[in-house]
Amino acid sequence: MNEKNEPILRAENISISFGGLKALDNVSLTINPGEIFAIIGPNGAGKTTMLNVLNGFYKQDEGSIFFEGKKRPKNLKPNVIAAQGIARTFQNLALFTGMSALGNIMVGRTMKMHSNIFSQALYWGFSRKEEIEHRKAVERIIDFLQIENIRRTPASMLPYGLRKRVELARALAAEPKLLLLDEPMAGMNLEEKEDIARFVLDANEELGYTIALIEHDMGVVMDICDRIVVLDFGKKIAEGTPDEIKANPEVVKAYLGTAES
Amino acid sequence: MAFFFEVLITGLMVGIMYSLVALGFALIFKASDVFNMAQGAMSLFAALALYGFLEQYLHLPLWLALLCTVAAMIIWAYAIVFIVLKPLVNRPPLMLFMATFGVAYLMEGIGQSIYGTQAKGLNLGIPDEMYEVAGIFISSFDLFFAGVAALLVLALVWFFQKTRNGRALRAVSDDHEAALSVGIPLLKAWTLTWIIAGVVATVAGVAWGTRLGVQFSLSFIALKSLPVLIIGGIDSIPGVILAGLIVGACETLGEVFIGPYVGGGIQTFLPYLLALLVLYFKPYGLFGKEIVERV
């Protein structure tokens, strides 16, 4: 871990609007290395927008992002940001449906592999050795997420819960410095949720990944996260440890509404 | 019976050519959702360029001329992706489709101004002898190109299934956003796809060119590959290859065996009739992915 405890990612005063709608309004957040960080908030609060800004799908109108202490150029492409070490999963699943589970995870490894098409043609042996090494790494991830028995199954044939798990595996395969998870437990039953929560915890504790996630299930968030930011209508209304968030009247108001209104 | 098989083989040979052109379409469609109207023009340009390098302007040896032709197609791929497609990213598919129309005319125009409009005979020195196998005559020329096409398809299969770049291209064709999120550069992937389509176009163009002469009607093969795409399903590469063979075989067999009863000339419309039938019963083609929209 980082000695100086410098944040791995810092977003400062991020604002973005779509047409007249201000999706994010002056939101700042800091993600420290080694922590599980959560962004929560009611529907339409701007959580996924924030994630999309962090991984470069959206460009903020105002504000800046610092990754590993360095200010990130605003127009950096998402694939470059991915190559720098930010991996993500999607709320509505974005697996490569034409490939097997294993194929998906191997693609997630793309950024770790260095031989290109020409070296593949010229240095057959080197490419092969590299491929085998990456296969081993991928197998470790498959073991870790307990999806050994579905590695050859086409992604399109997998049930929802397992697709989510393959997507997580694909993100882990990149060995990212920061892992962004967009509602990793959405639409799951209790047992599946507990599985994913355990994988997230293990990825954090055993493998040392820094994780930022969006989740609706308050119980899970309060259980596994170190720090939480609460968004409501694009504004940050609270930040703190789970206990602080639970006790915050603003948060309660955002979630339950007030008696007067 | 021997006559039937000879006609069938001729048809299959024609079918291979259709398959090759349709393969170029399918590759680009899968990777970027663009229906590339310039595929036929690309074949034409490749054949013209080879003729230019080989006979018209430079008298290069065959291998060097082929290499230069592929290089020319690579330059085209970069130009198309970075000048034409890049500014149109995220626009409706119809706009991209129209843009490729423009590219097709541009390619033909440039081809005409460099190489002239008259038809040219392209002679690669491939022997054209007839062999007799079990009472059936087969041309060595046809066999040669069947072999080349088969090698090309095998190489493509290997590339897409086994290599990192091939996997990346398949990923892009499945889901653009997810591909970006794992670090695959979209423009590079597209360029690579157009380069591959250019190589496929070169093989198709050279094969057609040596058989029929290099002429501007070559770019109309593109129209013949439309029924091939419909029958095979535009997003299925094996489907397209098989459909090309089916179309080639059917139109040749139809012309020879049914044609005389209806006055001939059915070769030109038979593939479309076949495509209509397929559309009626299997709207996504014989091998295409059925698109189920969830509500």
Q: What domains appear along chain B, each with residue ranges and CATH number?
A: 2-281 (1.10.3470)
Interface ipTM above 0.85: no
Q: Are A88 and A180 in contact (CB under 8 A)?
A: yes
Supply the pLDDT for residue B294.
54
Residue A187 and residue A258 in one domain: yes
Could you report the per-residue pLDDT of B21-77, keeping only the tens digit for each? Answer: 888 888 888 777 788 888 888 988 888 888 888 877 787 787 888 888 899 999 999
Residue A197 falls inside a structural domain: yes
Q: State mean pLDDT over A99-123.
A: 71
pLDDT category, B238, cuts 50, 70, 90? confident
The nearest alpha carbon in chain A to B30 belongs to A98
Residue A75 and residue A192 in one domain: yes
Q: What is the spatial distance between Cα A46 and Cα A233, in angstroms, rounded to a whole number?
A: 7
Residue A49 falls inside a structural domain: yes
Lowest mean pLDDT among A102-116, A127-141, A173-187, B250-264: A102-116
Residues of B contacting chain A (CB within 8 angstroms)? 163-165, 167-168, 170-171, 173-175, 177-186, 192
Full domain range(s) for residue A113: 95-175
Percent of residues in chain B assigned helix, strand, coil, to nearest 5? 75, 5, 20
Residue A153 and residue A192 in one domain: no
Supply the pLDDT for residue A123.
54
Query: How far is residue B78 CA from its own chain's centroid?
Result: 19
Q: Are B191 and B77 in contact (CB under 8 A)?
A: yes
Q: Are B275 and B231 in contact (CB under 8 A)?
A: yes
The chain-wide mean pLDDT, for chain A, equals 85
Residue where a domain stops, chosen among A157, A175, A193: A175
Supply the pLDDT for residue A142.
92
| Cβ pair B177:A97 closer than 8 A | no
Residue A238 and residue A163 in one domain: no
In the β-sheet with A70-71, what is the strand arrangement from edge to edge? A21-31, A9-18, A62-67, A70-71
Residue A184 falls inside a structural domain: yes
Query: A116 to chain B: which residues are within 8 Å by CB?
Result: 164-165
Residue A24 and residue A79 in one domain: yes
Pull the structure tokens for residue A252: 């309660």
CA neighbor of B16 nearest in space, from B136, B148, B120: B148
How many other C-beta atoms can be found within 10 angstroms of the C-beta atom of residue B246? 23
Helices and strands, counts by H and E, chain A: 10, 10
Q: Are B91 and B97 in contact (CB under 8 A)?
A: no
Residue A186 and residue A113 in one domain: no
Residue A167 and residue A244 in one domain: no
Residue A186 falls inside a structural domain: yes
Percent of chain B with pLDDT over 90: 3
B222 conformational bin, left if phi > 0, alpha if psi -120 to 50, beta if neither: alpha
Lowest mean pLDDT among B115-124, B143-152, B202-211, B271-280: B115-124
Could you report the per-residue pLDDT of A182-233, keeping only the tens digit for each? Answer: 998 888 888 888 899 999 999 999 989 999 999 888 888 888 999 999 998 8
Supply the pLDDT for residue A228.
92
Query: B175 to chain A: which residues are within 8 Å by CB?
Result: 94-97
Strand partners, A211: A36, A179
Give me the helix-helix angle, B62-79 and B39-51, nearest 10°: 140
A243 or B220, which is more confident: A243
Q: What is the spatial distance between Cα B287 and Cα B240, in angstroms, rounded to a whole number?
A: 8
Residue where a domain stops, chosen among A175, A204, A233: A175
How many other C-beta atoms can be found within 10 angstroms of the C-beta atom of residue A163? 20
Could you report the per-residue pLDDT of B71-115, keeping only the tens digit for each? Answer: 999 999 999 889 988 888 778 878 888 998 899 999 988 988 888
Amino acid letter, residue B61: P
Residue A97 has pLDDT above 90, yes or no: no
pLDDT category, A261, cuts 50, 70, 90? very low
CA neighbor of A88 nearest in space, from A9, A189, A159, A167: A167
Q: What is the count of structural domains for chain A?
A: 2
| Cβ pair A120:B174 closer than 8 A | no
C-alpha torsion sign, points A101, A106, A107, A109: positive
Residue A255 and residue A132 in one domain: no
Strand partners, A62: A15
Residue where a domain stops, chosen among A125, A150, A175: A175
Residue A74 and residue A182 in one domain: yes
| Cβ pair B182:A82 closer than 8 A | yes
Residue A106 and residue A131 in one domain: yes
Residue A108 falls inside a structural domain: yes
| Cβ pair B167:A99 closer than 8 A | yes
Residue A27 falls inside a structural domain: yes
Strand partners, A111: none
Residue A90 falls inside a structural domain: no
Supply the pLDDT for residue A125.
60
Please report, for the domain that includes residue A238, its CATH number.
3.40.50.300
Residue A58 falls inside a structural domain: yes
Supply the pLDDT for residue B293.
58
Q: Which residues of A234-243 are buried (b: 16+ CB within 10 A; e: fewer)?
A: bbbbbeeebe
Give me the helix-helix angle, B39-51 and B2-32, nearest 10°: 110
Residue A81 and residue A187 in one domain: yes
Residue A255 has pLDDT above 80, yes or no: no
Residue of B164, B196, B234 to mutate, interface with A, max A Cβ within 10 Å:
B164
Residue A213 and residue A243 in one domain: yes
